[in-house]
Amino acid sequence: MNNIFIALGSNLENPKEQVKKGILFIKKIEGVRLLNESNLYETPPVGILDQPNFVNAVIKIDSNLGPYEILNELLKIENIAGRVRIGKNGPRTLDLDILLFNNLILNEKKLTIPHPRMHERLFVLMPLKDIDEAIVIPNHGAIIDIINKLTPENIIRIE
């Protein structure tokens, strides 16, 4: 089985419920088992600042599916949630990203693992740390060390 960490985020159409529904849909993917989930966090937007705050979370699953199979399932769930891709860092009903897939390092046009900017984003690292404080991000180091080097952000645990 593959250990996979997935980030969830939303800032449209009741973001908290969007994230919770996203988790439920992921649990229903055949061959996927939910192992753990983080707290929910409210976080300010990145890039485009004139938009609502986000609700973010991370889950850990195991699965016999490969990375592209998981990606395709996540894209289907985003579509069900009404995700419209208007631009980078824009508002969204649901955003699902593969953060880590075992210790795989993959750098392809359609998929990069570990997620290419996760080590720069506390809104990803804080919920990931909820699940596993000892996690090491390939090519970047221990999560605790990475978090300690980043500038604090206004991240509020809401659940």
Report the 10 Å Cβ neighbour count for 125: 23
Query: How far apart, in whole angstroms, are the C-alpha atoms of residue 7 and residue 75?
Result: 13
Distance CA 131, CA 33 (A): 15
Please give the Cα distance from 57 to 113 (Å, whole number): 18
Distance of CA 119 to the CA centre of its chain: 12
The answer to whether the CB of 99 falls within 8 A of the CB of 38 is no
Query: Alpha-carbon distance 135 to 142, whole Å?
Result: 6
Cβ atoms within 10 Å of 12's Cβ, excluding its own: 18
Catalytic residues: 83, 92, 95, 97
